[in-house]
């Protein structure tokens, strides 16, 4: 437990260590998403961090037995690599079909002949 965090902040930090998103944490703790976001923002301010990775790292290092969070440590390393390498992936967008093209493809897929006047 991080001493400078409140009880609720420590609870949210533990959920972050388990790889849960802020929305998942909010639904499990029966609180609003904005409340979870505010808690994570306050935690980042307290430790001088920039993202959830810093919160997770601080929380894990404060534990007496951090072996319980081995999967979180592996996830943390992967996330750090992705952030530091800054991989940009370009996604090609599929062109939209007009209603006529969509109808023609549907008829063709059903084995029906398309008749044009």
pLDDT in tens, 47-100: 999 988 899 889 888 888 777 667 767 777 777 777 776 666 666 666 666 666
- Which tokens in the block code for residue 80? 């750090």
Q: Report if residue 16 sits inside a domain.
A: yes
pLDDT at 60: 85
Reported as a pLDDT band with limits 50, 70 and 90, residue 117 is low
Q: Under a CB-based contact definition with an 8 Å cutoff, are residues 22 and 36 in contact?
A: yes
Q: Report if residue 2 sits inside a domain.
A: no
Q: Report if residue 40 sits inside a domain.
A: yes
Q: Report if residue 48 sits inside a domain.
A: yes
Q: Report if residue 109 sits inside a domain.
A: no
Q: Report if residue 73 sits inside a domain.
A: yes
Whether residue 46 has pLDDT greater than 80: yes
Mean per-residue pLDDT of the chain: 80
Structural domain tally of the chain? 1
Q: Report if residue 102 sits inside a domain.
A: no
Domain that holds residue 72: 7-85
Q: Report if residue 25 sits inside a domain.
A: yes
Whether residue 40 has pLDDT greater than 90: yes
pLDDT at 1: 76
Instruction: Kindly state the percentage of the chain with pLDDT values over 70.
Output: 68
Q: Under a CB-based contact definition with an 8 Å cutoff, are residues 73 and 81 in contact?
A: no
CATH number at residue 76: 1.10.10.10
């Amino acid at each position: 437990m991080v001493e400078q965090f409140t009880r609720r902040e420590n609870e949210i930090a533990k959920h972050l260590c388990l790889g849960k998103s802020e929305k998942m944490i909010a639904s499990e703790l029966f609180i609003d998403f904005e409340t979870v976001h505010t808690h994570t923002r306050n935690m980042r301010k307290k430790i001088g961090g920039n993202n959830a990775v810093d919160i997770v790292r601080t929380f894990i290092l404060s534990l007496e037995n951090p072996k319980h969070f081995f999967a979180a440590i592996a996830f943390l390393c992967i996330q750090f690599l992705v952030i530091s390498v800054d991989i940009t992936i370009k996604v090609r967008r599929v062109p939209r079909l007009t209603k006529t093209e969509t109808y023609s493809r549907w008829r063709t897929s059903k084995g029906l002949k398309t008749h044009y006047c």
